[in-house]
């Protein structure tokens, strides 16, 4: 599990790489870009894991804030982290991350969610992405949801 160490209100805290979406940028593309900018790791989107919603956060520019955590597959493993955003960056054992006190509650909770996914199957935790045609000709949208079996997608063999 790739994590970065920040110096913030919580001194020397481990957290997941992340940041703000650019206008018109999809969730998965934001995650891939932010991970690369902060760590130098190239990756591909696998699923959406969780969403945290928060209001009146000092760092949200006066807006309500949604923090979306994605599961990515690394395509590279050599870290070349951004020294302006991170004190350290390293691959960390998921069991250790789930137990450390040097992180935030959300990071520990997501680490435990990932442990559950590794042990029981990611189908238990993942929200997959499906691109579907919009009602407007030529436009598409992305729908994130738990896996839906093919017979339910086409409604064949359903009584």
**Mind telling me the catalytic residues?**
37
DSSP symbol at 21: P
Find, among 107, 129, 126, the residue nearest to 116 by Cα: 126
> What does each C-alpha distance from 127 to 19, 32, 42, 52, 148 come to in angstroms?
20, 17, 21, 14, 10
Which run of H or of E encompasses 45? strand 43-54
Q: Are 122 and 71 in contact (CB under 8 A)?
A: yes
Helix, strand, coil shares of the chain, percent, nearest 5, are 25, 30, 45
149: Cα separation from own chain's centroid: 24
Could you give the CA distance from residue 37 to residue 80 in angstroms, rounded to a whole number? 9
91 contacts 2 by C-beta, under 8 angstroms:
yes
């Amino acid at each position: 599990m790739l994590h970065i160490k920040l110096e913030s209100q919580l001194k020397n805290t481990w957290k997941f790489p992340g940041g703000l979406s650019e206008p018109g940028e999809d969730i998965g593309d934001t995650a891939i870009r932010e991970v690369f900018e902060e760590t130098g790791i190239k990756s591909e989107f696998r699923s959406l894991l969780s969403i945290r919603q928060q209001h009146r956060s000092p760092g949200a520019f006066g807006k309500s804030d949604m923090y979306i955590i994605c599961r990515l597959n690394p395509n590279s493993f050599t870290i070349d982290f951004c020294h302006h955003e991170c004190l350290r960056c390293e691959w960390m054992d998921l069991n250790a991350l789930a137990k450390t006190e040097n992180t935030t509650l959300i990071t520990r909770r997501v680490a435990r969610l990932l442990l559950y996914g590794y042990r029981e199957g990611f189908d238990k935790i993942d929200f997959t992405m499906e691109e579907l045609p919009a009602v407007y000709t030529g436009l598409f949208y992305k729908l994130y949801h738990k896996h839906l079996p093919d017979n339910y997608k086409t409604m064949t063999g359903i009584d």
